[in-house]
Chain A
Amino acid sequence: MTDLVEQDWVPACARSEISDGDKLEVELPNGDFVLLLGVNGKVIAVCGDCPHQDTPLAEGSLIGSVLTCPVHFWQWDVESGEMLGPAELPLTRYAVREDAGQVFIRPHPVA
């Protein structure tokens, strides 16, 4: 775990906090809000706010791998990153690692 922190990974939550279908918003030390999503046995990390009008995506719905913003229904497949429905902008994603029952995020968007 220490190695990961030294490599710029930020501890986000315990792995047991996220099951498939769950959403958990965390704030990174740099002030970014990241939404952790339980999808098909994995944890996926995306930006906490919709790229459209900045709505908190934690208030949206996650069905399978499809995340839907609650306001204008922009949708993304968070596994593939594909934009769905009326979405016009991609979702920012963060790298995730799991170690010793903890979830870590690298606090720099990867896409």
Chain B
Amino acid sequence: MNQIVVTDRTGKSQRFDAPDKMRILHAGLLAGVGLPHECGTGTCGMCKAKLETGEIADLWPDAPGRRSCRRRGEVLLCQSAAVNDVSLSLRAAFSPPLRPACERLKGRLTLQETLTDDVALFRCILERPLAYEAGQFALVGLPALPGPRAWSMIDYTPGAARLDFLLRRAPGGGASAIVFDTTDELDVELIAPLGQAIFDPDEGRPFVAIAGGSGIAGMLAILARAEMEGPINVGTSDIVFGLRDPDSAYLLDRLDAAVSRMNGSLRVTVAFSDAPAPILLQQAHANLIFTQGLAHEIAAPIVEQAKHGDVPPVYFVAGPPAMVDASLQHLLTVLDVAAEDIRYDRFG
């Protein structure tokens, strides 16, 4: 066990223990320390810190997030394991501790339903129930794979000892090879929940969600939460679901049924970027609106209308990084949406 001391830019220090080989970010978050982070997997660069004393093992020297480490001695806490006692400094301030607190727990992952050639639903049975908020994600460690993957929960079942995930097969991806090509149950280790893009029905606001591909997962969790006690009386919520073409479509039945259940307080627009929706597909999902175009462009008139509603909505964005960046830019600079009204988690 190694003792870690982290000091932020205000001079505040926090101490916690990190077992050998455990990533310092994960050890800190599990100890309730508000270490800055977004993805927890080496992509975003938000957890950088300067190593002041001690030794660390760099577990992924080529992590994309290392682009933010431009000064001597800077490391990513999510890719650093302590070799001995370590002190680090942050140029940022500590964040508030995660709520709900994140936990480390074991689970067993199984294929639940194949949706397309490269998209499937997986269920993870947990060793104990987990509290989480709609829109949050889990870090999932797979057997024989270095480093966890960040997967959004697709449902909202807090208190149940299970999590459902929507996964896309990534060409050449190590995690995909393990998850999609294994028929047996997989023993996995989770650190969860993480994520700030949370839907809270107590805010009394509708939402506009722009989701690309498997980014729909977190939006469905938000929708499940909204269905439980959500914005039925505070205006109409919208989901814009961007997909490549009708052949790559999935979960339309689930969305169609949700629109029906929400009794006029939910609209779902399916935007195919590369092809129009066949008439038969439209007829089979009469509660959905089908159109052709990029999700953020299709969302523009919806956002314009929502902005001027009685209750300003919360905006969620999720999907592939390029789609998320395009959507955020459009919301902020073209549609003039207030930054504090936009929620997303940066991973992918």
Contacts and interface: CB of A to CB of B under 8 A. Distances in A.
A111 to B, nearest CB: 18
Interface in B16-48: 36, 38, 44-46, 48
B254 interface: no
Q: Is the interface of A mostly helix, strand, loop or mixed?
A: loop
A49 B95 CA distance: 17
Interface string A62-75: 01000010111111
A75 B337 CA distance: 13
B308 interface: no
A31 B36 CA distance: 23
B264 to A, nearest CB: 32
Contacts of A68: 332-333, 339
B346 interface: yes
Given A33-B70, A55-B68, A85-B340, A61 B46 contact: no
Nearest to A86: B340
A33 B48 CA distance: 16
Contact of B46 (A33, A55, A63, A85): A55
Contact of A85 (B38, B45, B67, B338): B338
A108 B199 CA distance: 43
A44 to B, nearest CB: 19
Given A33-B70, A61-B329, A73-B332, A53 B340 contact: no
A61 to B, nearest CB: 6
A11 interface: no
B346 A71 contact: yes
A53 B70 contact: no
A35 to B, nearest CB: 12
B342 interface: yes
B261 interface: no
The range of chain A's interface size is 20 to 34
B322 to A, nearest CB: 13
B332 A71 contact: no
A71 B44 CA distance: 9
A56 interface: yes
Determine chain B's interface SS by DSSP, over half rule.
loop
Given A85-B340, A86-B339, A52 B92 contact: yes
A6 interface: no
Contacts of B95: 53
A54 interface: yes
Contact of A61 (B38, B71, B91, B332): B332
A73 B327 CA distance: 13
Interface string A82-99: 000110000000000000
A63 B346 contact: no
B339 A54 contact: no
B92 A53 contact: yes
B92 A54 contact: yes
Interface in A16-33: 27, 31, 33
A24 B58 CA distance: 29
B91 A54 contact: yes
A76 to B, nearest CB: 12
A56 B70 contact: yes
Nearest to A73: B339
B28 to A, nearest CB: 15
A85 B95 CA distance: 19
Nearest to A89: B93
A4 B91 CA distance: 31
28 contacts: A27-B70, A31-B71, A33-B70, A52-B92, A53-B36, A53-B46, A53-B93, A53-B95, A54-B48, A54-B91, A54-B92, A55-B46, A55-B68, A56-B45, A56-B67, A56-B70, A61-B329, A61-B333, A70-B325, A72-B339, A73-B328, A73-B339, A73-B340, A73-B342, A74-B339, A85-B338, A85-B339, A86-B339
Ranked 3 nearest A-B pairs via Cβ: A73-B339, A85-B339, A54-B91
Given A68-B333, A71-B38, A75-B339, 9 more contacts: A53-B93, A53-B95, A56-B67, A70-B328, A71-B44, A73-B339, A73-B342, A85-B338, A86-B340
